[in-house]
Amino acid sequence: MRLARRRAPLVSVVVPAYDVAAYLPACLDSILGQTHDRLEVVVVDDGSPDDSGAIAEAYAARDPRVRVVHTGNRGLGAARNEGLRHVTGDLVTFADSDDVVPPDAYATLVGHQRRAGSDFVVGSIARLVGGDLEEPRWMRRLHRTRIDVVIDTEPELLGDVFAWNKLFVTDFWRGAGLAWPEGVRYEDQPTTTRAYLRARRFTVAPEVVYHWRIRDDGSSITQQRSSLRDLEDRWETKRMALASVLDYGSAKVTAVFRDRVLAGDLHRYFDEIPGCDDAWWELLVAGVRELWAGRGLVRSGLVPAHRLVGWLVEHDRRPEATLVVERLHELGGLPRVDTPAGRRVDVPGLDVRTIDPAALLLRDDER
């Protein structure tokens, strides 16, 4: 006698929407066109000033899988949390309303979850720039093969902080007490960090399951790093994530997190040093000293030029940090020279005699 096939699980998709009328139709079309079509799509109109709410209602009128929740504007974290209060699916995922989900993404993630019985599945992503797709090399490396793991064996996966390339078992999400921080940018990192740490087991999938649109108008949150508010939020969410890792209590996970994950995006802020104002610089110095206290950035996974900038920031040497960043931009990289102590980076105009050699020297694999 043939066994009945298991019923396909209901996948709930939470889609916050704010000022995205130009992008929302493409996002919803990509979700509703999934090959896994047993879906519940909860669009949260986060007090949008444009037609986003009306567009979502039009989709709901013609597709019963779509529901719309209207709220006052409270930000991305609050909108996601509001959407979570309305989901009923076995599995839950998230999509930002200016992005696109590849057609087989949810089928792929569901398949991996059902096979492994894991608490969540995380797939790779591709950046959508214009009409071109590019999978970041670091994501390709982290997702090079399918594995079922706990965070102790692959702690560098803590660097995959995105909300929207993950499919969670809803009971796991709720049982772990997960929620998105509200009133702060970069809310993804604290929550995904807790998910990794609390999972009994999670699955890493090699497939690209999300297309992250990089807007060319500079309007996305991640393109506003020179503002004081942005840096304040970045430090706050890093503190929250680090606190969870420290509470977890693994020396190995903590070391990898501090050196390779927590430091991973600092170079984008270092790029803003030339021309930054005094308050922004002082906040940058304070954050580096706080989060890498007693360890410094010379041991981090940053490339040599950025380890040097990190050392200069830590020691409040703004003119020299500015010089290094400007030279890096002008030259496209820093020259390298051989010295009796070893091979190191060289910065025209920088007096290296006043700098810790560890901030200048190359590692064996960088020579």
Domain boundaries, given as residue ranges, for the chain: 11-218, 263-366
Contact 261, 158 (CB under 8 A): yes
What pLDDT was estimated at residue 117?
Answer: 97
Q: Does an H or E element contain 233, and which?
A: helix 228-248
**pLDDT tens string 273-298:** 999 999 999 999 999 999 999 889 99
Lowest-confidence region among 1-15, 25-39, 66-80: 1-15
> Per the structure block, which two tokens stand in for 193?
């960090």
Rounded to whole angstroms, how far apart are CA atoms 157 and 135?
16
The maximal CA–CA distance of the chain, rounded, in angstroms, is 81
Of 209, 128, 145, 166, the closest CA to residue 158 belongs to 166
Average pLDDT, rounded, for the chain: 94
Q: Which residues contact 19 (CB under 8 A, 6 or more apart)?
A: 48, 49, 50, 52
Question: What confidence tier does 259 reach under pLDDT thresholds 50, 70, 90?
Answer: very high
Q: Does an H or E element contain 149, and which?
A: strand 147-149
Helices 52-62, 24-32: axis angle to 10 degrees equals 30
What pLDDT was estimated at residue 222?
Answer: 47
What pLDDT was estimated at residue 366?
Answer: 87
**pLDDT tens string 220-258:** 554 477 899 999 999 999 999 999 999 999 999 999 999
Inform me whether the pLDDT recorded for 185 exceeds 90. Answer: yes
* Prediction pTM value: 0.92
CATH architecture of the domain covering 11-218: Alpha-Beta Complex (3.90)
In DSSP terms, 216 is beta-bridged to none
**pLDDT tens string 88-112:** 999 999 999 999 999 999 999 999 9
